[in-house]
Amino acid sequence: MASNLPASLKGRDFIHLSDLNREELNAILKLATEMKQEQKQFRVDGKTLIMLFFNYSLRTRTSFETGARQLGINAVTINAMAEGWDLEWREGTVMDGKPIEHAKDAARTLSRYADAIGVRSYPPMVSIEEDRRDELVNTFRSCSNIPVINLESAVSHPCQGLADIMTLRELFPSGMKGKKVVLSWVPNPKPVTHSVANSFLYAASLEGANVVLAHPEGFELDPAIVDAAKKTAQASGGSLNVSTDRKAAFEGTAVIYAKSWASTKFYGKWDKDAELRAQFVESWRVRPDDLRHTHRAKFMHPLPLRRNYVADDAVIDGPDCVVYQQAENRLHAQKALLVGLLG
Ligand code: CP
């Protein structure tokens, strides 16, 4: 069966959501919806996807493995983190430390075995400038001659972003224009990357929502990413504003997308970051009361989620929580993506 996906997708990398133009994105999500509704079944038999995980994963790993098998793709997963090995990615390094292999060599080798490579990196989280360069995934991109899929890096989680757009479109079939969407920082006992926040900021902006990025002072996202998302929102008929006033941000919103991220003020100085984060543990946790000031807002989160720290049980188990719908859509959106890249 023909997929009707644009031929331009074939053989491409998927590192950021913005790698897809609107026609490609819409086609992928249309096919994902058809596959979800079981109107269309596809096979991409005989292909191999190799995935490298340098960080924990439940959803990304299992949704890609399951989706690949449903398509007839052979999925090979290396849980590098559990196996205790790492790749070097810095240029010109004298490799006398722990990593015994450079990402360049891994990328060139795996390109000879597989039809696509997926990489989940975990940044060193020492220097914000270094982490923003996203060197591991970008080395795979530049050194592989097959599609590279970013399974989450320091900067971006495009597969989560795809599923989040699909979820928004299911929840609001008439579109996001005129609807308020809040991306809210939430507490976490540990500092985590900006990847999901960056990708959702772009996703909601692309959908033309009136986006509010809400966080305490010191947790600003990369200004270049915020500026780009602002331009995207304006071009899509929406807007993007940044606020440290959580209560005002939540007023009348249709969506609360909760996600924690590390402070930028104390990035790499984790004792100070922990002190700063501790000040907002109670005041930024999502509680049922927060939803009272909204238009019966949908509660979104990419998972995993620390219950009663990020959000109360009553929110997560409540009728407006859509986190499992988001998680399910990972499977369908990624299958459609694989059909586009490999079909
Ligand atoms: N949302 C997400 O990527 O989940 P995992 O970390 O479990 O893959």
Per the DSSP assignment, residues forming a β-bridge with 48 are 74
Alpha-carbon distances, residue 332 vs 58, 69, 129 (angstroms): 16, 13, 34
Give me the sheet containing 48-53, strands edge to edge: 74-78, 48-53, 116-120, 148-150
The CATH code for residues 160-326 is 3.40.50.1370
Asked if residues 42 and 335 have their Cβ atoms less than 8 Å apart, the reply is yes
Type of residue numbered 114:
A
Residue 248 Cβ inside 6 Å of ligand 1? The answer reads no
- Ligand 1: distance of its center to the CA of 2 in Å? 30
CA of 203 to the centre of ligand 1 (A): 17
Average pLDDT of the residues of the chain: 96
Q: How far is the CA of 235 from the centre of ligand 1 (A)?
A: 30
pLDDT tens track for 91-109? 999 999 999 999 999 999 9
Is 45 buried (19+), middle (13-18) or exposed (0-12) by CB count in 10 A? exposed
Q: Is the CB of 152 under 6 A from ligand 1?
A: yes
Ligand 1 atom closest to Cα of residue 151: 3
pLDDT, residue 39, reads 78
Checking if the pLDDT of 118 tops 70, the result is yes
Q: Is the pTM of this model over 0.95?
A: yes
- Which residue from 54, 152, 162, 329 has its CB within 8 A of the most atoms of ligand 1, so it is best to mutate? 152
Beta-carbon contacts of 271 under 8 Å, excluding residues fewer than 6 positions away, are none
- Terminal-to-terminal C-alpha distance of the chain: 11
Instruction: Determine whether the shortest distance from the Cβ of 324 to ligand 1 is under 6 A.
Output: no
Cβ 59 under 6 angstroms from ligand 1: yes
pLDDT given at position 296: 87
Distance, CA 157 to ligand 1 centroid (Å)? 9
Tell me which residue has its CA closest to atom 6 in ligand 1.
57
Nearest CA to ligand 1 atom 1: 302
> What pLDDT does 242 receive?
98
Report domain extents, the chain: 43-155, 160-326
Q: Ligand 1 pocket, 178 CB below 6 A?
A: no
The CATH class, in words, for 43-155 is alpha beta
Nearest CA, atom 4, ligand 1: 59
The pLDDT, as a whole number, for residue 291 is 87
Q: Binning pLDDT at 50, 70 and 90, where does residue 1 land? A: low
**How many Cβ atoms from other residues are within 10 Å of residue 122's Cβ?**
19
For residue range 232-275, list pLDDT tens digits in order.
999 999 999 999 999 999 999 999 999 999 999 999 999 999 99
Asked if 161 and 225 touch (Cβ cutoff 8 Å), the reply is: no
> For the segment 72-94, what is each residue's pLDDT rounded down to a tens digit?
999 999 999 999 889 999 999 99
